[in-house]
Structure 1
């Protein structure tokens, strides 16, 4: 495994650009590891509606970065007390949504440190049932990464200040507040350490787990390419916020694989605009589903015939096509206006 040196950069737009650049351009058939610590920021999941996930005024007043990542999942808060890791490997369908495989080496090290860490739910690492790490994945079809957060000594109060936590997520977890569901790793340690010490402890533990571990420093040309990607994408309003289209049909449901939020504009009985939001994970972009339904009649048979043969596992994870079809055009109550 090769450890990528990010040179201590804490700007989230650069770190996310570095992660994507390395995934798409570094040597195939080689495993890489990237660590980074971000200054205060909200990292939005690929398919989320940014303005509905954040407290915009608070983030602007506090000058908190808002950056969208290329992986699915939910919005997370980063600060100087949060360590992020990213394992990059060749794509393997058996590893898709297999968060345990990539998190297990980190969990093992945490347990050696006295932290009762374990994998729980679809993508969380918890200690005494409190979340200390969330994980997400992205795949190009050839390469993939599985990345996650490690809440070491983060300002947990900012999580609720900066994020608009949806009631559906709180209710599905069976808890009253986000604060009661998260904890810092430092709370479980018997001896105090800095996040820099923590980073070195995790890295040393991973070195012991893997043979032939080496460190890679980017060349000048590679850094220039990373900064170009940052300027073109991760500093772009279109990428980080994107369009939030008008809609007259709004249907949302939380599944075991995450929340799926459908927005449709229907005119004269046809779908003229569509957007799918959510905190689900998938390999293929849901824009493919949006495009295939544009111009189609908004009736059950047409939607069923259009989507019935699509493998929804590629887009959302383990969900039958019938479930999505029912969400788009079901009989249960939806938020609608007239179908003009």
Structure 2
């Protein structure tokens, strides 16, 4: 495995561009590890509606950067007290959405530091049932990124201040606030350490797991490619925010695999616009599925025909097709 030095970059636009550049351009013969620390920012999941996830006025007032990532899952808050790790490997169907397998080396290192870390739920690492790390994945079909946060000493009050957390999400977890179920890793450590020391300890612990670790620094030409990707994608309003779709039907339901928020614009009985938002994880871009519905009649039989040969799980994870059809057509659901 090759550790890639990000040269101390804390700009989230550039760090996410670096991550994507590596997965799309670096040799398939190696696995890579990337660490980065971002200045205060909100990192939006690939399929989320940005304006509905953030406290826009607060974000603007406090100059918090908002950047969309290529992986699914929910929005997270980053600051200088949070260490981000990213494993870049060959696409492996056994590892896709298997967050326990992917995070096992990190959990082992945290345990060696006295932190009672364990993978729990869909994609969280917890300590004493409090979330200390959130994880997500992205696959190109050939290569994949498995990345996550490590909340060492983050300002947790900013999570609630900057994110508009949906009540349905809070209620489904049986908690009254985000703060009550998120914690810093430092709370479980006898000795307080700064983020750079923590970074070194995690890196050294991962090195001990592999004999073939080496460190790589990007060439000037590679950095040029990263900056080009940043400017053309991660700096743009179209990528980070995007326009909200016109809709006259909204259907939302929370599944074990994530929340689906459907927006449909139906005119004269035909679907003119179809958009799916949510914090789900899927292998295929959801845009491919959305396109299938444009122009179709808003009838259950037509929806069933569209999805007859479609594997819904490739887009959303373990969500039954019949449940998705009922959600699209507005069938009643059990609470």
The residue number in structure 1 matching 2:60 is 60
Partner of 2:26: 26
Q: Match of 2:92?
A: 92
Corresponding pairs, count: 333
Q: How does 1:133-212 map to 2 (within 5 A)?
A: 133-212=133-212
**Tell me, what secondary structure is at the counterpart of 2:319?**
coil
The alpha carbon displacement at 1:92 in A equals: 1.1
Partner of 1:117: 117
In 2, are the aligned partners of 1:308 and 1:321 still within 8 Å (CA)?
no
Question: What whole-Å deviation, never above 9, does each CA across 1:273-298 have from its counterpart, x for those lacking one?
Answer: 11100000011011011101000000
Q: Which runs of 4+ in 1 moved over 6 A?
A: none
Q: 1:36–1:84: 8 Å Cα contact kept in structure 2? A: yes
Moved more, 265-274 or 305-314: 305-314
Measure how far apart 1:172 and its partner are.
Answer: 1.0
The 2-side partners of 1:331 and 1:70 are apart by 32
| Deviation readout 1:182-217 (Å, 9 max, x if unpaired) | 000001110111110000000000000011100010
Q: Give the TM-score, by structure 1 length.
A: 0.97
Preserved CA contact (<8 Å) 1:14 1:230: yes
Distance in 2 of aligned mates of 1:119 and 1:278: 22
Q: How does 1:308-319 map to 2 (within 5 A)?
A: 308-319=308-319
SS in structure 1 opposite 2:94? helix
TM-score (norm 2): 0.98
Q: CA deviation at 1:30?
A: 1.2
Tell me the SS of whatever aligns to 1:94: coil
Distance between the aligned counterparts of 1:306 and 1:94, measured in 2?
29
- Does the 8 Å contact 1:280/1:317 carry over to 2? yes
C-alpha distance after superposition, 1:261-317 (max 9, x if no partner): 000000000000111000000110110111010000000000011013211111111
Task: Tell me how far apart the structure 2 counterparts of residues 192 and 303 of structure 1 sit (CA, whole Å).
Answer: 56
CA distance in 2, matches of 1:318, 1:309: 16
Shift of 1:114: 0.6
**Are the equivalent residues in 1 in contact too, given 2:251–2:330 (CA < 8 A)?**
no
Aligned to 2:294: 294
Q: Which residue of 1 aligns with 2:48?
A: 48
- TM-superposed CA distance for 1:320, in Å, is 1.7
CA distance in 2, matches of 1:30, 1:270: 49
Q: Which runs of 5+ in 1 are unaligned?
A: 334-340
Contact 1:308 1:322 in 2 (8 A): no
Deviations 1:229-265 (A, max 9, x none): 0000000000000110111000000000000000000
Query: Which residue does the alignment assign to 1:338?
Result: none
Show structure 2 runs of 5+ residues with no match.
none
* Distance of 1:223 and 1:17 partners within structure 2: 10
Name the SS of the counterpart of 1:325 in structure 2.
Answer: helix
- 8 Å contact from structure 2 (residues 68, 239) kept in 1: yes
- 1:94 positional shift: 1.0
Partner residue in 1 for 2:230: 230
Query: Which residue in the other structure is 1:307 paired with?
Result: 307
Q: In the alignment, which residue of structure 1 is the partner of 2:321?
A: 321
What is the aligned partner in structure 2 of residue 35 from structure 1?
A: 35
- In the other structure, the counterpart of 1:267 is 267
